């Protein structure tokens, strides 16, 4: 009944708003809406949270916009890579946007996130800009790591984002270390350590989880299960692909990772749990449309039907679009306009990033140390190229 | 000027020989062993900065596998002296992550042999991160523990890692010899904002050295990247680090009887390597012997030799001599182990070769 009244109210607002020719979606209301997640949560050694998620029109519209932005950024990166403006490794996140966006909705910038190399969208969620992102991908000095990191090494410490790591699994003990430091400093914040189904088998993950549980660290392990570790399907790599249960004595939750609201609910739940009871594992059931990286077509180990099937049935952006439309929070045209704006924003950022120069050659020798002690460092021909580290 | 040097007793801590020296140590002659030096350095730095904490196997309740962290759990509590399970990859990663956040961990490896399980975190997670993040994330961490050969511990427990870690940009690598070195360098390492690999030596833990008032002061530290001339000389430069400094000093005494005045340099720092002190010394003596315990190929001595050839070629009167551990995994049998490690007579022989004197001369006037 409450929902009907809500619908009537928003319908009326929509009607009156439709009359005026300019309605700004950013003035959307913050009146609460209750939405059911499409799938229930499954718990391991814990009672799962309710399927009923509190949200607002403003939040749903921002989910849509943020995910559309992330989607557009990754697609644009694909083109830039093919145009050889991005070199080396480029691991794209399109399909998984709901995890990044749902998580951000549940936490603050004082909570920490650390992930592996599929990090562009997480960076954006933590407050990174499109310019910093594209410039870094193209190795320019306006990049978030001044062009010296590349796709896999985005960081934003002031936004609570600790990278951006190239070694599969290493980020999990590092994340537990962040949680250790948060507890040591009595910060009342948590760390989300993200990893994939491939990394889930790494030994160091279990070493870190053991210590996190032993010492009650506020660590939340997020397994982004996109079902393929590079070219190897989960059932070929893991004896037990129920990653949310792999913590054994550590509780876990299986979450529909294509549903931003489910992700938000789970992360909120996990944060409360971790602050009181120590580590918890969240398995996000998600999917990547691209291959493992730009060198992988992504179709030799899975069928095109599977990929298009997920896109049709479970796409995270389409889900939010349907939700917005069914609640009359915006019209189809308004959402399409948002997508056009987002595309324009991305194109402008790319144009700006292309203008950004490559780093100065002297940057070869900067940041090797915080305190270089006036020591000499050498280039390939040490008689030709040497520098004093400040 | 005659210097009176008495032999130090190595294995019996109750026998404390008094070492008098005219220049390099002050005459106050308080004695401290390396273990006490490290312990006091950790204690003082933990007291001065709450962000400093210790983690490692047996560092807490066991009082330290080699008693280096003795008493610290009692003083600072289990939040700051953290006993870890035997999971190097995991706890090293946790230490590095804590350093990312801004704490100042001191991670102990029971020996650096076990650090190989964690070497990805030392190199890829710690050493390279400040560079990859262009200064956004710094890593003020210290990795410390015994390095190199002990006595009779066999092949898997005897490797020296100075050359491996010394190659990595982004790491600082220190190798103390004396108690003064141990105190000053560990304090400097803990205060340093970059990742430091601190290579101790188990056999030195019980050795006593004189320490001055200055060394005992809580504010004391030694600059990173500067070698120390332990003994000045004019005929040949002997460059060593850690335990081999002691051997080199003994070799210098023997050489003196044969009229060879050796200069002994204690590197203290493997990375940055103090090329200018070594070069300046070789430019005075014109001859160089490098001494290390580790494997010879791609070793510290190889780097020093290359450096001297590049920078001071014209000053060399003889090829550079390298003394290093044998090219074999460390054997257990006592006689084979002795053959696998540099001995004082090896250093003496190499110095004589560098001086083109295989036959002892009568003592110089």
pLDDT at residue A91 greater than cutoff 80: yes
The pLDDT value given to residue B11: 43
Partners of residue A207 in chain B, C-beta under 8 Å: 85, 87, 89-91, 93
Partner-chain residue, chosen from B98, B130, B272, that has the shortest CB–CB distance to A180: B98
Closest approach of B103 to chain A, Cα-based (Å): 7
Task: Calculate what percentage of chain B has a pLDDT beyond 70.
Answer: 90
pLDDT band at A390 (very low <50, low <70, confident <90, very high): confident
Report d(CA B119, CA B92) in Å as an integer.
9
- The answer to whether A148 contacts B131, with C-beta atoms less than 8 Å apart, is yes
Interface test with A, best of B77, B82, B83, B93 (most A CBs within 10 A): B93
B151-163 per-position pLDDT tens digit: 999 999 999 999 9
Query: Check: CATH 3.80.30.20 for A30-359?
Result: no
Closest approach of B101 to chain A, Cα-based (Å): 6
3-state class percentages of chain B: helix first, strand second, coil last, to nearest 5 = 40, 15, 45
The pLDDT value given to residue B13: 44
Rounded mean pLDDT of chain A? Answer: 94
Structure tokens at A253: 């939750």
Mean pLDDT of A129-147: 98
Closest approach of B130 to chain A, Cα-based (Å): 6
Asked if this assembly's ipTM is beyond 0.90, the reply is yes
pLDDT band at A24 (very low <50, low <70, confident <90, very high): low
Partners of residue A114 in chain B, C-beta under 8 Å: 97
| Residue scoring higher pLDDT (A3 or A224) | A224
Task: Calculate what percentage of chain A has a pLDDT beyond 70.
Answer: 93
B83 touches chain A (CB under 8 A): no
Helix (H, G, I), strand (E, B) or coil at B355: coil
Closest approach of B170 to chain A, Cα-based (Å): 5
Report d(CA B21, CA B29) in Å as an integer.
10
B114-144 per-position pLDDT tens digit: 999 999 999 999 999 999 999 999 999 999 9
Instruction: Give how far the C-alpha of residue B87 lies from the chain's centroid of Cα atoms, to the nearest Å.
Output: 25
Q: How many contacts, defined by CB atoms under 8 Å, are there between A and B? A: 161
Map out the domains of chain A as residue ranges.
Answer: 30-359, 361-390
pLDDT band at A27 (very low <50, low <70, confident <90, very high): low
The pLDDT value given to residue B9: 40
Report d(CA B195, CA B197) in Å as an integer.
7
In the residue annotation, B121 being an active-site residue is answered as no
The pLDDT value given to residue A28: 74
pLDDT at residue A5 greater than cutoff 90: no
Q: Are B161 and B172 in contact (CB under 8 A)?
A: no
Partner-chain residue, chosen from B92, B124, B272, that has the shortest CB–CB distance to A375: B272
pLDDT band at B14 (very low <50, low <70, confident <90, very high): very low
CA distances from A210 to A207, A217, A323, B77, B280 (A): 5, 10, 40, 21, 52
Closest approach of B316 to chain A, Cα-based (Å): 19
B window 187-216, beta carbon within 8 A of A: 192-194
The pLDDT value given to residue B16: 45
Partner-chain residue, chosen from B95, B120, B225, that has the shortest CB–CB distance to A177: B95
Partner-chain residue, chosen from B79, B120, B194, that has the shortest CB–CB distance to A369: B194
- Per DSSP, B85 falls in state -
A263-292 per-position pLDDT tens digit: 999 999 999 999 999 999 999 999 999 999
For A68-100, give the DSSP string.
Answer: HHHHHHHHHHHHHHHTTSS-S-----TT-HHHH
Partners of residue A375 in chain B, C-beta under 8 Å: 225, 272
Partner-chain residue, chosen from B91, B129, B275, that has the shortest CB–CB distance to A211: B91
For B203-270, give the DSSP string.
Answer: GGTT-EEEE-HHHHSTT----TT--EEEE--SSEEEEE-THHHHHHHHHHHHHHHTT--EEEEE--EE
Report d(CA B229, CA B268) in Å as an integer.
10
Report d(CA B139, CA B134) in Å as an integer.
12
Report d(CA A24, CA A260) in Å as an integer.
23
The pLDDT value given to residue A29: 87
Interface test with A, best of B134, B166, B173, B190 (most A CBs within 10 A): B134
In the residue annotation, B202 being an active-site residue is answered as no
Active-site position among B88, B200, B202, B230: B88
Active-site position among B58, B157, B232, B253: B157
Rounded mean pLDDT of chain B? Answer: 92
The pLDDT value given to residue B3: 42
Largest Cα–Cα separation, chain B: 64
pLDDT band at B357 (very low <50, low <70, confident <90, very high): confident
pLDDT band at A50 (very low <50, low <70, confident <90, very high): very high
> Where are the strands (E) in chain A, listed by range?
33-36, 42-44, 52-55, 112-114, 191-196, 219-225, 228-229, 232-233, 252-256, 280-285, 376-378, 386-388
Mean pLDDT of B221-243: 98
Interface test with A, best of B94, B125, B173, B309 (most A CBs within 10 A): B94
pLDDT band at B364 (very low <50, low <70, confident <90, very high): low
pLDDT band at A67 (very low <50, low <70, confident <90, very high): very high
Partner-chain residue, chosen from A114, A149, A178, that has the shortest CB–CB distance to B134: A149
The pLDDT value given to residue A320: 97
The pLDDT value given to residue B22: 42
Q: Which residue of A has its CA nearest to B195?
A: A369
For A32-74, give the DSSP string.
Answer: -EEEE-SS--EEESSPPPPSEEEE-HHHHHHHHHHHHHHHHHH
The pLDDT value given to residue B131: 98
Mean pLDDT of B47-74: 98
pLDDT band at B18 (very low <50, low <70, confident <90, very high): very low
According to DSSP, the residues that pair with B142 across neighbouring strands are B106, B196
B135 touches chain A (CB under 8 A): yes
């Amino acid at each position: 009944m409450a929902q009907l009244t809500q619908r009537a109210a928003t319908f009326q607002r929509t009607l009156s708003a439709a009359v005026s020719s300019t309605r700004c979606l950013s003035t959307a209301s913050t009146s609460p809406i209750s939405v059911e997640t499409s799938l229930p949560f499954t718990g391991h050694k814990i009672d799962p949270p309710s399927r009923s998620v509190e949200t607002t029109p403003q939040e749903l519209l921002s989910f849509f916009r943020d995910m559309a932005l992330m989607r557009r950024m990754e697609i644009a990166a694909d083109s830039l890579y093919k145009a050889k403006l991005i070199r080396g490794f480029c691991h794209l996140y399109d399909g998984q946007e709901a995890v990044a966006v749902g998580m951000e909705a549940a936490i603050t910038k004082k909570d920490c996130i650390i992930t592996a190399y599929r990090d562009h969208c997480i960076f954006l969620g933590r407050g990174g800009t499109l310019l910093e992102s594209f410039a870094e991908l193209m190795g320019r000095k306006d990049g978030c790591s001044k062009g010296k990191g590349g796709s896999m090494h985005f960081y934003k410490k002031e936004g609570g984002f600790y990278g951006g790591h190239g070694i599969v699994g290493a980020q999990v003990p590092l994340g537990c270390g962040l949680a250790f430091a948060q507890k040591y400093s009595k910060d009342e914040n948590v760390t989300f350590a993200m990893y994939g189904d491939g990394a889930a088998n790494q030994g160091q993950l279990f070493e870190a989880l053991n210590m996190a549980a032993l010492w009650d660290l506020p660590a939340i392990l997020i397994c982004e299960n996109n079902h393929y570790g590079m070219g190897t399907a989960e059932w070929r790599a893991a004896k037990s692909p129920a990653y949310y249960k792999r913590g054994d004595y550590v509780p876990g939750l299986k979450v529909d990772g294509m549903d931003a609201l489910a992700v938000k609910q789970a992360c909120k739940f996990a944060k409360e749990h971790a602050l009181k009871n120590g580590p918890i594992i969240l398995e996000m059931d998600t999917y990547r449309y691209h291959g493992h990286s730009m060198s992988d077509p992504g179709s030799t180990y899975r069928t095109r039907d599977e990929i298009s099937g997920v896109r049709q049935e479970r796409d995270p952006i389409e889900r939010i679009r349907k939700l917005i439309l069914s609640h009359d929070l915006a019209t189809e045209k308004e959402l399409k306009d948002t997508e056009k704006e987002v595309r324009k924003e991305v194109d402008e950022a790319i144009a700006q990033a292309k203008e950004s120069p490559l780093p100065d050659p002297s940057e070869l020798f900067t940041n090797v140390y915080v305190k270089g002690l006036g020591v000499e460092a050498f280039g390939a021909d040490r008689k030709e190229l040497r520098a004093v580290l400040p | 000027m005659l210097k009176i040097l008495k032999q130090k007793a190595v294995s019996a801590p109750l026998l404390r020989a008094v070492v008098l020296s005219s220049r390099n140590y002050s005459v106050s002659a308080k004695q401290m062993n390396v273990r006490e030096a490290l312990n006091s350095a950790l204690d003082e730095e933990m007291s001065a900065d709450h962000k400093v904490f210790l983690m490692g196997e047996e560092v807490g309740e066991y009082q330290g596998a080699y008693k280096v962290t003795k008493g610290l759990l009692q003083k600072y509590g289990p939040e700051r002296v953290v006993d870890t399970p035997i999971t190097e990859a995991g706890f090293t990663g946790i230490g590095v992550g804590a350093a990312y956040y801004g704490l100042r961990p001191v991670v102990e490896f029971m020996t650096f042999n076990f650090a190989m399980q964690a070497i990805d975190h030392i190199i890829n997670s710690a050493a390279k991160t400040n560079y990859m993040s262009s200064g956004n994330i710094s890593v003020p961490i210290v990795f410390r523990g015994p390095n190199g050969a002990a006595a009779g511990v066999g092949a898997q427990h005897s490797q020296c890692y100075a050359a491996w870690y010394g190659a990595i940009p982004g790491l600082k690598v220190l190798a103390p010899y004396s108690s003064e070195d141990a105190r000053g360098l560990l304090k400097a390492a803990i205060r340093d904002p970059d990742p430091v690999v601190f290579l101790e030596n188990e056999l030195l833990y019980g050795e006593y050295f004189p320490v001055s008032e200055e060394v005992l002061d809580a504010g004391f530290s030694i600059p990173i990247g500067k070698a120390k001339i332990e003994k000045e000389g004019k005929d040949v430069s002997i460059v060593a680090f850690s335990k081999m400094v002691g051997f080199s000093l003994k070799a210098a005494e023997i050489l003196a009887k044969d009229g060879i005045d050796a200069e002994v340099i204690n590197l203290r720092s493997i990375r940055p390597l103090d090329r200018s002190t070594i070069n300046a010394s070789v430019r005075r003596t014109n001859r160089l012997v490098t001494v290390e315990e580790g494997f010879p190929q791609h070793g510290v001595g190889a780097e020093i030799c290359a450096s001297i050839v590049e920078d001071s070629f014209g000053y060399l009167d003889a090829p550079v001599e390298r003394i290093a551990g044998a090219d074999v995994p460390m054997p257990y049998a006592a006689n084979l182990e002795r053959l696998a490690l540099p001995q004082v007579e090896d250093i003496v022989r190499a110095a004589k070769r560098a001086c083109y004197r295989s036959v002892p001369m009568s003592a110089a006037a």
